[in-house]
Amino acid sequence: MSNTAFDNPFTRIPDGHTRLIGVIGHPVSHTLSPALHNPALAWLGLNMRYLAFHVHPAQLETAVRGFAAIGMVGFNATVPHKEALLPLMDWLDPLAQRIGAVNTVSIDPDGTLRGYNTDAYGFIDALQETDTLPQPLDLSSSSVLVLGAGGAARGVVVGLLEAGARQIAVANRTPARAEQLIADLRPCYPQANLTPLPLEADQLPLESCDLLVNTTLLGLQGEEIQVVEMPRLPTTALVYDIVYTPKETPLLRAAKQQGLVTLNGLGMLIHQGSRAFELWTGQKMPVAAVRERLLGLL
């Protein structure tokens, strides 16, 4: 497949054999997933299209059953659907069960819905990319602070635990959600030091934080996370915001002004997407080419 086909993923006209994949969310207009998957599908010469679908939470089950009825290959899910998809699945991958959230669904020809979570893989794969960080982070000896306790946070925390992190604090505006997240994970990771916290400035252990991860939507519309007082972070801390649009959120901008190393969510988007892509197509996504194209778009 030529580079021309990659640059213009819609050179092939859909026909009666075109298979559909997609992403659902509320909202979903910010997503870069179609720009991630469609060029990769074109590059590999696959007669498939990836579309974005705005699905209101009240219509989630109707939409999912409709996807199965029309023979879709599968779909991704973003906020607020990741946890709500769990009871709709016919089969759950063990990692998705531990996380308690689904971000990737594969649909069998008979309509069987198989739920996976590739967020954990995507988060860690991006964190371990040697070309994006000045030096690798030793998670086994690091103190991690995760902001947020939703479906994305669950994937991030499990990814950290699977990668060997043993000291993680989860801070949320509704402390009960952070407490529930940790209560759900303790039986699976009894050796881990997991702490729920309220998302309040005087409660955040910033002075001892080696890795700060934002999993909330704050920053998507240019909002600041005022409770994070950057001067309190160690000079060696890494600030990781899983938001990928805008490319530099107010949190990352403030961290850079403090001289800290930062990482946005583009790498996580690409790596979690590549895992989903392989589940749907049985082929490897051309990650390097996709990254180059997305960086051009951003």
The contacts of residue 95 (CB under 8 Å, 6+ apart) are 116, 117, 120, 158, 162
The contacts of residue 191 (CB under 8 Å, 6+ apart) are 166
In whole angstroms, give the CA distance from residue 185 to residue 53: 31
Q: Does residue 284 have an active-site annotation? A: no
Helices 266-281 + 287-297 axis angle, to 10: 130
Q: Which position among 82, 247, 256, 284 bears the catalytic label?
A: 82
In whole angstroms, give the CA distance from residue 213 to residue 206: 12
Compute CA 281 distance to the chain's CA centroid, rounded to the nearest angstrom: 20
The contacts of residue 72 (CB under 8 Å, 6+ apart) are 19, 20, 21, 22, 107
Q: How many CA atoms lie within 13 A of 164 on its CB side?
A: 7
In whole angstroms, give the CA distance from residue 30 to residue 38: 16
Active site residues: 82
